[in-house]
Each structure stands twice: as structure tokens, then as C-alpha cells.
Structure 1
Amino acid sequence: MTVKLSLASLKDAAATAGVPNYDPKSLTPGIIHFGVGNFHRAHQAVYLDDLFNTGKGHDWALIGAGVLPSDAAMRDKLKAQDYLTTVVEQDNNKTGARVTAPMIDIIAPDQKDVLIEKLADPAIRIVSMTITEGGYFIDAAGHFNPAHPAMVEDGKNPAAPKTVFGLILAGLKLRRERGVQPFTIMSCDNIPGNGHVTENTVIGLAKMSDPAFAEWIHENVAFPNSMVDRITPATGQREIDILKNDFNIDDNWPVFCEEFKQWVMEDNFPAGRPALEEVGVQFVPDVAPYELMKIRILNGGHATIAYPGELLDIHFVHESMEHPLIRAFLAKLEKEEIIPIVPPVPDTNLDEYFDLIERRFLNPKIGDTIPRLAQDGSNRQPKFILPSTRDRLAQGKDIVGLSLVSALWCRYFAGTSDSGRKIVFNDASAEKLQAAAIKAKDDPAAFLVFDEIFGEVSGNELFRKRFAHALKTLWSEGTAKTLQLYLDDKLVQE
């Protein structure tokens, strides 16, 4: 009989899944987390669950928060099962499930006053976030964008915030007024220098209404950088059904993920932190080398296989990697253009790291999808692909493969695959990108007009030439033939 997940049914769930060996009701909160999505529940929440299972850190439980309608839907699903989550870890050779319980509440988006008051609670010593790459109000160079309408509105009305950053400022202001030590603000998103980026957005927004408060934040609030990694696809009915059929657990929103996980952090937590080093988190003086390695090689790799996969009507990531042209394209691009300009990483062989990435991408059990990788390219391309392009150009090196990645992204936004299948976009800038991509069929430069995406790369003569030739070849020869030309070193127009 299927077990409906709840605190009352944990003993029954233990028949097929790991369950906490601590009492979730005994936990007290220490962290507020914005963005209770799949990645957070497969990553930060799992590390905390591991720690709580050792008998330590029980005053570091999570309270979730959010500002979007989807956050309310997630709250309703998790509240109905006492905020428990079933995490299904899938390796090539094994699959296992565990129920995690580090979250004890989620504050609904319409409870902003409750949230601000909780942010001011001295027990809350860390505020963390997974709000996606597009949630930080930054431009292509990673600089805070004060002209964004959401920032303009919160800047004018700091007492009635609508964004994550406006709410954080409201909580910090209350703590300052009450003489409470500020919490540490910890980004868990895939952004280069995510701590610095978060600090710039928080302080930039504060300056818009209270420069003195902004200076206080600069002097008193910590923003540690971190690198996070675990492939975690979206949850659909497929995952819910697998959990019921294979583990007899009925979970409103389970999380499926790979077995591998990694978290590298700077140890900068003036208000204290849980002892996460005891459960595998690496605390290092400088996260930047690890972060750049992961963003360029793994996230850049995802972007590399996403668009040829879409154009060739491939749905799953492992199927894309099983396509000989796509897998060879990824390997050639990584080994010839991306990895050679990644700076050394302590105790890490970059070629072996890429071999690990290939194995992870090939995992058929994850069920990760090409449409998920292809979404939100207007935020991901400037962070995962174009920095490698920029750095190679600065060093006087060619960018044939990287230009092809950008051209594939443009061809994707024309709206149909090579077979004529209509592509469904998930990107805040989809309308303007599609209009430009259609124009670019005849005038490739029409797609390079977005400074917030391409930055100075768009003005480089070599990039413009390589991009134009790759795009014209995609249109005239199709994706498979274009990939083959690249692999044969024939995708070059001198």
C-alpha cells in the first residue's frame, strides 16, 4: 500500500526509503531560504539533513520563503506533507530514496509582514537563496542594474518591498534598529562571484533609498562566495509515479537528482554557521577557481549540448550525449577552447573533471531534459558561454566552437527544429530574441544587438565573422552537417 508522506507516516516510509534519525519537531530555525525549488531541496537541504542525522546543528533548521506565485504553490504542496521531501538519488548502477526533514515552515508570498519580522529574529543567522541566474537584476557584465523596473519600484517604496532583495533589506533594517547582529547572506546560485554579485545588488538597492544604510551593510554584512553542484531535473508526473511504483511513497513534489553533489564555500559567517564541513562541504579561502571551473566546464557544457539537442528533436540529456555528433562536439569544444583557458584549481585535474562531467551527463536514470537546459538562455549564455568567448578573444585565440554555440542558440530561437517541430521557449526575453533570430537568418548581426547579453563580444570582428558563418551554415546545411564540419575543422571562413 502506498504511504502518503507526512510526519505521522515516517515509520511506514522507512520500509523503502531512508528517514531522519532525528525528531523534526525538535528542530529550531536558523536559516531563511528564498526559492524552495528542486535544487535547494536536493542540495543545501540534503547537507543539513546529513548534519542533523549526526545529532548536531539542530538549531539550524530551514524556513522557506518566496515572492512568486510558484512559491505559493510549492508551499501548499510541502505544507500538506509537513514540509518533508523525498529525494531520489540516481546513479548509473543504483537508485535510492531518502526522506529529508530540515525544513520546518514556509512563509507564503502574501505574508510579507510575517517574513520581515522573522528576518529580524535573532535566531535567524543566515539568509540563503536559490532564485536562478536571472533573479539578481544584473547586466551581462554582472553589474547591478538600478534601472530594472522591479528595482526602481522597491527603491521608491522600501517599506513595501516586492522582491527578495527588498525583503532582505527590510529585515536588515529592523535588525539594525533593534541592535540585532545582521545575518549572513548566502547565494547558492550558479553565478560567477555569487557572493559579490549578491552584495552589489543588496547594497545597490539600498543606495536607491538610503545611502547611509547601504554603507552600514557594506561594513557589517557578510556575503560569502560559494560553488554548488548537483544535476537536478524538474519534477513532473513521471517522477511522482516512479516514486509511487518503485518506493510506495506518495509525495506531492519529490526531487530526483544524481548521486554526486558538491558545495565549496568561503568561511565568512560572522553570526555563526552549521558545521557543514562534517558532512562534506569544502570551506576554502577562495572559491573562485572552483566556481569558474564548474561554470565554464559543466554549465557551459550543458549549454553546448542543449541547442543542438533541441534542433535535432532530442528530449533527454543522456540521449543527446548518446548522439555521436553532439558528444564529439562537446568534447572537442571543451578540450580545445574552454578547458585550456580555465585557471588551475587546487588538487584538481581539469581533464579528469571533464571526464566526470561526461559520465554525469550520460546518466540515463536522471531523466534531465534538453528543454530544461535550453531555458533562460538570455541569463545563462552571458554567464556560462560568452565569458569563455571573451577571454579567448582577449588572448588572441580563435573561437570557432564557442561561436557555433552562440549560433546554435540563435538558430534555436528562430522557433523550429530542423524537422519543423515548433520549439516552446522558457525565457523572459523570448519575444525579442525570436524576432531578432528570425531577422538573423538573412542578417546574422541582427541577433548581436543585445548588449545586456553579448556585451563587448558583439563588437569583436572575429566573433561576428565566426558567428555569421556558423549561423548561415546551420540554415543552409542543418545542424548535423554543421556539427560534422566543425569536427572536421572545416567550419571556418577566412
Structure 2
Amino acid sequence: MKLQDDRLDALDPRIARPAYDRAALSHGIVHVGLGNFHRAHQAVYLDDLFALGLDHDWAICGAGVRAPDAKMRDALRAQDCLSTVIELAADGTSPRIIGAMVDFVEVAPDNAPLIAKMAEPATRIVSLTVTEGGYYVDATTGTFDPTHPDIVADGAAPEAPRTVFGAIVAALRARRDAGLAPFTVMSCDNIPGNGHVTRDAVAGTARLQDPEFADWIVANVAFPNGMVDRITPATGDGERALAASFGLEDPVPVTCEPFRQWVLEDNFPQGRPALEKVGVTFTDRVHDYERMKIRILNGGHAIIAYAGALLGCEFADDAMAHPLVSAFLRKVETTEILPHVHAVPDFTPADYLTLIEGRFANPAVKDTIRRLCLDGSNRQPKFIVPSIADGLRAGVPVTGLALESALWCRYAFGTFEDGTAIAPNDPNWDALTALAAEAKDQPELWLGQRAVYGEIAGNAEFAGLFADWLRLIWAEGAEAAIKIYLDA
């Protein structure tokens, strides 16, 4: 059965459905980036809130800025903007239909429909999931890069922006000119200080067009920091088949783990939905939560990803069942990551590590190792390199993190240890494979990626550790290298 509002009552009784009148919803949020994570996270929290009979004027209007986003728009609009979300627990699956989204803006090259929707008085929050690499940050400086061709183009043609940040600038200008208060801009991406990063991207884009308006944005627009968390695998044939097992014909179902978390600064001048009533934590300690999550969970994903891939693991739970990979994760986390993480009211670092080990090992989620290996060139500088830098500054071990980096380099060479080719898995894959081939004999060349390694690129101690591990991996294999690290 295709998803439609008028068919919800006929669904399999095992499927939970919106416990509110969707016809009574109106949009208050424009969300850019309707991927799996958003639909399993922000949309679910709002669905829960609406079921309490609250804040029905805070529904989501979806949006995208890239041509491929039109495919998601077509798929969701064909099913009345309903989404299938299936929670995967070790003891069973829990499907539900999420009805928190009421429309999806037309995707256009000049982003005019998006700008118009953001400029409407009803829009009070613009939220984003545009991936870790979508904020135009120069990893060498750690700041916004106004020289990127996309941003330069938006500066030259502000009336037809190609980026979400150019579109936000145009919408904010339209609102100011109309005498409307600015909306709040809320990032939902896994980036340290994501609110500050988003502010810099929006104001930096505006500065190329109108420095005075950029100053107005900094002074008048709220960019709350936030931390988001839920493991959400990519959708493939298996996920579509799972939806079909409940009688659902949905080309874009979402699967996810049962756990979810959202931590936000309470900085919403134009109001916000009462998300605290459905489990969202509002606090001025977002950065401590964020550091814990990014270093331990996202960093942990990287640790099991490349080790697991080279040892033949297909899924995250396979990696956790492999004694070498799980032991590698625990040793690196305990000795090289946890010392740089602060406790939060909910967890100590050690408690949080135990939690994420259980989440990684969930046999129902089937999160692929390939997904965890994706986009290392953007993820390593955010999830792994900061722990290396902290360790070097503090004079504590970074041996395991150097091994993780060497395993990434070996993976980026483009073949598994049996010679089987690895399909491209990074926006910079061709450049990475060429560099990894050179680094086989000259390891220091890999660390020359300033955009990845930043301040540690020239650190002699780390360079020595990395070179030793990479040579060992090529000589004896990943398994031998991990064993030596664990035995040390």
C-alpha cells in the first residue's frame, strides 16, 4: 500500500501513525536537507510533540538546494510528505509513520521558491542538515572559506544563489526589507560549534555582497548551537523490503536505532516548539555534550570503520563482534580520547563509551562499515584530528589514533588486502587514492593534507608514529598492526 493520508487507517495495526489531525498543521520550520537523519530525528521529535496536542503551527516544510534533492521531493510529495521510520532494536522492529512535514518546496537552480518560503512570516526557524562537509570550512584555518567557487558565485549573483547560505542571506534581506523579524537558523549537523559555524557561513556569504548587511546578520540573527545523535543507516533494498514486510510501498523508508538525543541552546528569539516536553535537553553546556558525542561516538565510528573494513567486516555489529576491532575501539577510546572529554549531567565519559559500544553492537541496525568509511577527508578533521591535537599538547599517547589514521590511508589506497577494489567512497576519492599510493613509500606525504591534519601536519612525533604504522600495515597487514598495538 502506498502511503497516503486517506489510507492511514487501513495500515497494518503494527504500524504507529500520527496521533493528531495533520490537516490542522501549519509550517513554522523550513528544513533544508531531507535525508534519513532529519526524518529519524527532528521530524520524530516534532511528531511526538504534535501527538501531545501542542504546537501544531511548528510543522516542517522540506527544502533542498541541489538538483538531486528534487528526487526526494518527488518521493515524499507522492506520499503526502509522510515518512516511514522503523526503529531497530535487538528484540524487534517498531515501524511508525511520521507526519510532521506538510510540504516540500520546489527545488530550483536559483533557489527562488526556497527564498520565498523562508521569507514568509510563518517561517520562524530555518534548520539544516547539509552534512559535515557542507559548511565551506577551510580545515587549515578552521574558519569559513569565502574563496570557495560556490560562495564566490553567490557573492557575484546574490539574486540567484546556488548555496543554502546564499539563499538564507537573500531571505533574511527580504524579511528585513518587509519589516519582518529574522528567523532563527538552526544547524542539525555533527560539527563542533555548529551554530557558530553556520553563523560564519551565512555572514561570510553576505559579506561578499554587502559588509553592512553581514554585520546586521551577526547582530540580529540567532544561530543556536546544538548536538544531535541517532544512528541512521542509509536506505537500500533491504530497508525497502523491511517496509514492504509491513505492507508499505515506500521508496524512501528510514531505519534507525531506538536511541536518540538532542541538546540545544535556548536561543530562539522568534519562539520555538516546546521540544523539552518530548525529551530535548536545553542547556548552556551544549559544547560539553557535543564534545563527548563527536569525540567518542563519531570518533569511535572512524576507529571501527577502517579497521573493520580491512578485516572484512560488513556491518558495525560485525566489527564489534570481532575481538580485535572491539578491543581496538576500547583501548583507543579509553587511553587517547576519554581523557580529553568532560562529564555531562547525563553521563561520565566512561559511561557514555559503554553506551555507544552497545549501540554499535546492535545486531538489528545493520549499519554498514562502508557508510562509516564514507567521506573520511571531511570527517577525520572533525572527529579524529582534534583528539590527536589534544593528546600531543597534553603529552599523552596518540599511538592508537596514529594507527587509525594509517588504516584510513591504507583504505584510501582503493583496494582491500586481498586485492579487491574498493568502490569510490569520498568526494576526493581520486586524489586520495593517488596520494595513498605515493604515501606507501613516503608516508609523510599523506600528512601533508593540511585540510585534514591542520596544525598536526608538521608534528614530528605524530609523523613518526604514523609512518611506522603505515609501513607495518603494508608489510604485515592490518590485523598484525592492530595486534601489536593491543599487545603493547
2:33 aligned with 1:35, yes or no? yes
How far does the alpha carbon of each residue in 1:451-476 deviate from its partner, in whole angstroms, 9 at most, with x for none?
11111111111000000001001100
In the alignment, which residue of structure 1 is the partner of 2:305?
A: 306
How far is the alpha carbon of 1:91 from its aligned partner? 1.2
Quick one: percent identity of the two aligned structures? 54
Of 221-230 and 441-450, more deviation after overlay is shown by 441-450
Alignment map for 1:214-229 (pairs within 5 Å): 214-229=214-229
Partner of 1:410 in structure 2?
409
Q: What is the rounded CA distance, in whole Å, between the counterparts of 1:438 and 1:471 in structure 2?
A: 12
- Give the distance between the partners of 1:69 and 1:393, measured in 2 at CA: 43
- List gaps (5 residues or longer) in structure 2: none
Q: Is the aligned partner of 1:130 residue 2:129?
A: yes
Instruction: Work out whether residues 107 and 113 of structure 2, in 8 Å CA contact, stay in contact via their aligned partners in 1.
Output: no
Q: Do 1:34 and 1:131's aligned partners in 2 also have CA atoms closer than 8 Å?
A: yes
SS at match of 2:102: strand
Secondary structure at the aligned position of 2:410 is classed as helix
Q: What are the superposed Cα offsets for residues 80-136 of structure 1, whole Å, 9 maximum, x if unpaired? A: 111101110011122111101011111132172222111111110000000000000
Partner of 1:89: 87
Tell me the amino acid that sits aligned with residue 453 of structure 1: V
The yes-or-no answer on 1:450 pairing with 2:457 is no
- Whether the 8 Å contact between 1:232 and 1:257 is mirrored in structure 2 is yes
Matched, 1:17 2:15: yes
TM-score normalized by the length of structure 2 = 0.98
For residues 276 and 471 of structure 2, what CA distance do their matches in structure 1 show? 51
SS of the residue corresponding to residue 209 of structure 2 reads: coil
Contact 2:105–2:117 (8 Å) recurs in 1: no
Residue in 2 aligned with 1:207? Answer: 207
1:420 CA displacement: 1.3
Per-residue CA deviations over 1:397-432 (Å, capped at 9, x if unaligned) read 221001011111101011111111111122111111
Distance in 2 separating the partners of 1:199 and 1:478: 44
List aligned pairs for 1:246-285, cutoff 5 A.
247-285=246-284
The answer as to whether partners of 2:84 and 2:95 remain within 8 angstroms in 1 is yes
Q: Secondary structure at the match of 2:396?
A: coil
- Secondary structure of 2:70's counterpart equals helix
Q: State whether residues 155 and 206 of structure 2, in contact with CA within 8 Å, keep that contact through their aligned partners in structure 1.
A: yes
Aligned to 1:69, what secondary structure does the other structure show? Answer: coil
Query: Deviation of residue 36 (structure 1)?
Result: 0.2
| Alpha-carbon distance between aligned partners in 2 of 1:241 and 1:402, rounded to the nearest angstrom | 38
In the alignment, which residue of structure 1 is the partner of 2:167? 167
How high is the TM-score relative to the length of structure 1?
0.97
Question: Equivalent residues in 2 for 1:93-104 (5 A)?
Answer: 93-104=91-102
Q: Distance in 2 between matches of 1:354 and 1:308?
A: 18
The count of corresponding residues between Structure 1 and Structure 2 is 486
The residue number in structure 2 matching 1:108 is 106
Are positions 1:64 and 2:68 aligned together?
no
Deviates more, 1:317-326 or 1:295-304: 317-326
Q: Residue 461 of structure 1 aligns with which residue? A: 460
**C-alpha distance in 1, partners of 2:106/2:432?**
33
AA at the equivalent of 1:179: G
Asked whether the equivalents of residues 342 and 348 of structure 2 are also in contact (C-alpha less than 8 Å), the reply is no
Amino acid at match of 2:132: E
**8 A contact 2:138–2:451 mirrored in 1:** yes
1:419 and 1:339 map into 2 onto residues whose CA distance is: 34
- Distance in structure 2 (CA, Å) of the matches to 1:472 and 1:108: 52
Q: For 1:426 and 1:57, locate their aligned partners in 2 and report how far apart those are by CA, in whole Å.
A: 41
Deviates more, 1:448-457 or 1:191-200: 448-457
- Conserved in 2, the CA contact under 8 Å of 1:312 and 1:419? no
User: Please, what is the CA RMSD of the aligned residues?
Assistant: 1.0
Query: What is the CA–CA distance in structure 2 between the aligned matches of 1:44 and 1:231, rounded to whole Å?
Result: 13
Report the Cα distance in structure 2 between the residues aligned to 1:51 and 1:257, rounded to whole angstroms.
19
Tell me the secondary structure at the aligned position of residue 442 of structure 1: coil
Structure 2 Cα separation of the partners of residues 76 and 311 of structure 1:
38
**TM-superposed deviation, 1:234:** 0.4
Q: Which residue of 2 aligns with 1:430?
A: 429
How far apart in 1 are the matches of 2:347 and 2:244? Answer: 40
CA–CA distance in 2 between the matches of 1:106 and 1:394?
47
> What is the CA-CA distance between 1:347 and the residue it aligns to?
4.0
Cα distance in structure 2, aligned partners of 1:449 and 1:431: 16
The residue that corresponds to 2:198 in the other structure is 198
Q: Which residue of 1 is the match for residue 150 of structure 2?
A: 150
Q: Which moved more, 1:135-144 or 1:327-336?
A: 135-144
Checking the alignment, whether the CA contact within 8 Å between 1:142 and 1:197 is kept in structure 2 is no
Structure 1 range deviating more: 378-387 or 106-115: 106-115
1:46 aligns with 2:44: yes
* Residue 14 of structure 1: how far off its partner (Å): 5.2
Question: 1:355 aligns to what?
Answer: 354
1:350: how far off? 1.3
Partner amino acid, structure 2, of 1:204: G
* Contiguous gaps of at least 5 residues in structure 1: 490-494
Question: Which shifted more, 461-470 or 443-452?
Answer: 443-452
> 1:118 and 1:441 mapped to 2: Cα distance?
51
Give the Cα separation in 1 of the matches to 2:486 and 2:107: 50
User: Aligned equivalents of 2:20 and 2:390: distance in 1?
Assistant: 49
